[in-house]
Structure 1
Amino acid sequence: MTKNQFQTFKELHYQKDVLYLFNCWDVMSAKIIEGKGVKALATSSYAIADAWGCADGEKLPFENLVWFSQQLIHNSNVPVSVDAEGLYADSLETLYYNAQSLFTTGISGINFEDKKNRSHTYELWNVNEQAERIQILKHVTTSLNTNIFVNARTDLFFKEDKHSIDLVKEALNRAEIYADAGADGIFIPGLTNIELIEEFSRNSPLPVNIMLNSSTNIESINWKNVGVSRVSYGPHSYFQAQNILENHLTFSI
């Protein structure tokens, strides 16, 4: 990946139009999505893991994720952002080496979440611990003489059932600290209340990424007016493909 490609991807978060990302799960789906004229590709960790017979939450072997990222780069002509979950790392040392492995594939960005995927409970990293982890990622880019758009994901809105202004303020505190640590964007999946998304976006120090759910009517909402810069489909493109296959596949024996 060239620095120019990273810059292209970063600039897509600051355009007058929202950046829509239809998440892929293999090279075939990536080619189809790119063929529709998208400006960037993104992956879904759930969809990739499920397609390969694994559960989500870093159950897919890390070396498979690295290999798949390489295949996407070799078969695409637009910037690629990879859903890296927590980069399969509890320690800072492991985080550093895993980031090196993934960042040398040529990708332009990652989603990097603050959920502890290896915990037996739904637990988030302390905000300052996660900030240090983000700093490690930035140190790796410097050591490799490259750039990676770090889309810092907070799972607060998945962890808590009731979403409120207070929870939005807690998420904004994380966004501020993540921004100071070097994050390039903030991802708030799970938050679907338009008023709360607008409140968050109005006060966010970083470009805001939301994830659509199956009930969201995309055509009825001007996300740019809400303050959102990036909209992801997450695993829903994968679910749609499954549904088409289940309902339209016919054969005779």
Structure 2
Amino acid sequence: MTNQAQKAKAFRALHKPGTPFVLYNIWDAGGAKALVEAGAPAVATGSWSMAAAHGFEDGEAIPLDLVLTLVERITAAVDCPVTVDFEGGYAQSPDDIAANVRRLIDCGAIGLNFEDQIVGGEGLHPVEDQVARLRAVRKAADDAGLPFFINARTDLFLKNEAGVQHALLVEEAIARQNSYAEAGADGYFIPGLTDPTLISRICEASTLPVNVMMMGELSSVSKVASLGVARASYGPGPYIMAMKDLVAAQSEALAS
């Protein structure tokens, strides 16, 4: 599988509601190779993990040029679809976002996560602004002739983890899904939502395959499958676990 468009089509076909495929997020080419050799049909970067692995905070603190260099190394290392956690596109205006997406496509990526929080600011982009930004991503991909997979992420739940009942946010999440789908999104990512009943409600209402982040109550892929989820990703979890293992191994070596 060497053609970028073929990889994009193969990646799209992996999204089957009720039969979620797993993306155990990586941050470098070595991790990507290891997972593909272990049978992963696709790999996904995690923005938090990639930033932390190179000494940066999350939230687009890692330079875009470095992100693209890393993506280029990952896509060169594995012959499978690679999707990138592209945060807010490393820009605000639709034109600048489109330019950055074109660069990402040139690095070999076949998809991205694109979030609606205001990176470096407060809250979420108004729906109409995020729709314009999503349309810019879609146009950049279409102009490249690539069936690029846009995983539209809403940060409604992550931004309201403390003090706000997630049940009160579900209708807004569904409304955003509808708007994002009309703007050209291919998937809908709801990180931070772990209540099975609420996830099931969104899956039933969504016209797009739904992606959850495995955290908290979400400890079993078979469990989220029963909710109608199409994609299960792990965010920063793999990096955090790897660093704990590294520290534990050092402690054991020093004590030996």
TM-score range, shorter chain: over 0.9
SS at match of 2:150: strand
Matching residue's letter, 1:32: A
C-alpha contact (below 8 Å) 1:157/1:163 kept by paired residues: no
> Counterparts of 2:125 and 2:19 in 1: how far apart (Å)?
33
Task: Tell me which residue corresponds to 1:208.
Answer: 210
1:117 matched to 2:119? The reply is yes
Task: Tell me which residue corresponds to 1:151.
Answer: 151
User: 1:213–1:15: structure 2 CA closer, same or farther, 3 Å change rule?
Assistant: closer
SS at match of 1:135: helix
TM-score if structure 2 supplies the norm length? 0.93
C-alpha contact (below 8 Å) 1:141/1:148 kept by paired residues: yes
Superposed CA offset, 1:153-176 (max 9, x none):
000001223234331110000000
Matching residue's letter, 2:146: T
Matching residue's letter, 1:109: G
> Counterparts of 2:131 and 2:42 in 1: how far apart (Å)?
26
Q: Structure 1: 5+ residue runs without aligned partners?
A: none
Aligned residues: 250
Matching residue's letter, 2:150: V
Cα deviation for residue 135 of structure 1 reads 0.7
Matching residue's letter, 2:142: T
2:185 to 180, 183, 202: 183
Q: Structure 2: 5+ residue runs without aligned partners?
A: none
> Counterparts of 2:113 and 2:17 in 1: how far apart (Å)?
20
SS at match of 2:97: helix
C-alpha contact (below 8 Å) 2:154/2:191 kept by paired residues: yes
Superposed CA offset, 1:110-141 (max 9, x none):
0000011132xx32111111111111111111
1:108 matched to 2:110? The reply is yes
C-alpha RMSD of matched pairs (Å): 1.7
> Counterparts of 1:14 and 1:227 in 2: how far apart (Å)?
9
Alignment identity in percent? 35
SS at match of 2:226: helix
TM-score if structure 1 supplies the norm length? 0.94
Query: Following superposition of structure 1 onto structure 2, how do residues 32-181 of structure 1 map, counting pairs within 5 Å?
Result: 32-119=34-121, 122-160=122-160, 161=162, 162-181=164-183
Q: Give runs of ≥4 in structure 1 deviating > 6 Å.
A: none
Superposed CA offset, 1:186-238 (max 9, x none):
0000001111111111111110000011564316x432220100000111011
